[in-house]
């Protein structure tokens, strides 16, 4: 049937997929699952639509561009952070609260390692006020804890920035690839130390096996305490 201009109306892509009608939550969940399995390079509107059983055009109602979809993945990570924190019992002082947030975010990141780069790249691309509400609520939670600790605004900012940098840096180090050949049982060949010139990299070759280990949540907590002591003291 033609519209008033005489042209046929554009066909509206259906958003009913193989598992029923779509929602933003379902779209972001499927996108995160795809990234978990195949990495960020596999994510596209066309591929995500195929996974959900809809045309790619149907997804633009939930994310208007690829960039918005990536921001949605960051949102999904922070929503998982909220869920973890809400499932935990509170208690303790403000420092304990900061530790809880950091540990919960660490667990979310280890559950979705291939999405972790977005926590840095999208923050570099998106101004504060345009970040998803779940992300802003995550910022608000930490800032409120620091204020509850009696810190003035200058120290609140310093501690917030230091904690954010430590958490993202620590997670990035924990998740960095170290194994060169997983089929090798001998540690030196497993790490590919034979590829490193011994005359130029003697210390790195010696320390590499220790670098390949993870510090785990204990290392995260130890570094966080050092930062809080340095920037916030006991106040």
* Phi and psi at residue 133, to the nearest 5°: -55, -40
Whether 190 contacts 180, CB under 8 Å: yes
Structure tokens at 139: 């910022």
Q: Which residue has the tokens 């920037």?
A: 231
The candidate with the shortest Cα–Cα distance to 99, out of 197, 221, 230, is 221
Strand partners, 179: none
pLDDT of residue 81: 97
- pLDDT value for 2: 46
CA dist 86 and 80 (Å) reads 10
Residue 121 · residue 168 · CB < 8 Å: no
pLDDT (0 to 100) of residue 134: 95
- Show the CA angle centred on residue 96, arms to residues 93 and 98, nearest 5°: 110
User: Could you read off the pLDDT of 29-76 as tens digits, one per residue?
Assistant: 999 999 999 999 999 999 999 999 999 999 999 999 999 999 999 999
Q: In which band, very low, low, confident or very high, does the pLDDT at 17 lie, cut at 50, 70 and 90?
A: low
pLDDT 10s digits, 81-95: 999 999 887 778 999
How distant is the alpha carbon of residue 36 from its chain centre? 11
Residue range 115-174, pLDDT digits in tens:
999 999 999 999 999 999 999 999 999 999 999 999 999 999 999 999 999 999 999 999
The answer to whether residues 24 and 62 touch, using CB atoms and an 8 Å cutoff, is yes
Which residues, 6 or more positions from 107, have their beta carbon under 8 angstroms from its beta carbon?
84
Q: Which region, left, alpha or beta, applies to residue 97 given φ > 0 means left and ψ of -120 to 50 means alpha?
A: alpha
Q: How far apart are CA 102 and CA 95, in angstroms?
A: 11
Q: How confident is the model at residue 232 (pLDDT cuts 50, 70, 90)?
A: confident
* 231 pLDDT tier (thresholds 50, 70, 90): confident
Domains of the chain, start order? 15-64 (1.10.10.60), 68-178+213-231 (1.10.357.10)
Q: Give the containing element (helix H, strand E) for 20.
A: strand 20-21
DSSP-based three-state secondary structure for 13: coil
At 14 the pLDDT is 55
Backbone angles phi, psi at 21, to 5 degrees: -70, 145
Between CA 31 and CA 59 the distance in angstroms is 11
Helix (H) or strand (E) holding 16: strand 16-17
The pLDDT tens digits for 167-223 are 999 999 999 999 999 999 999 999 999 999 999 999 999 999 999 999 999 999 999
């Amino acid at each position: 049937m033609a519209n008033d201009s005489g042209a046929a109306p554009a066909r509206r892509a259906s958003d009913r997929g193989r598992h029923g009608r779509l929602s933003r939550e379902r779209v972001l969940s499927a996108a995160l699952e795809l990234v978990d399995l195949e990495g960020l390079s596999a994510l596209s509107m066309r591929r995500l639509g195929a996974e959900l059983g809809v045309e790619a055009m149907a997804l633009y109602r939930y994310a208007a561009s690829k960039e918005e979809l990536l921001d949605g993945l960051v949102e999904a990570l922070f929503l998982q952070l909220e869920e973890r924190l809400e499932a935990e019992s509170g208690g303790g002082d403000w420092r304990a609260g900061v530790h809880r947030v950091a540990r919960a975010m660490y667990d979310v990141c280890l559950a979705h390692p291939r999405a972790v780069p977005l926590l840095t790249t999208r923050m570099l691309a998106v101004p504060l006020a345009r970040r998803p509400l779940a992300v802003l609520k995550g910022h608000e939670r930490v800032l409120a804890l620091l204020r509850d600790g009696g810190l003035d605004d200058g120290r609140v900012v310093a501690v917030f920035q230091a904690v954010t940098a430590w958490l993202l840096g620590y997670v990035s180090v924990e998740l960095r690839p170290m194994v060169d050949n997983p089929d090798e049982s001998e540690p030196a060949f497993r790490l590919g130390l034979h590829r490193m010139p011994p005359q130029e990299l003697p210390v790195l070759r010696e320390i590499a096996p220790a670098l390949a280990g993870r510090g785990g949540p204990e290392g995260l907590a130890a570094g966080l305490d050092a930062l809080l002591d340095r920037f916030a003291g006991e106040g």
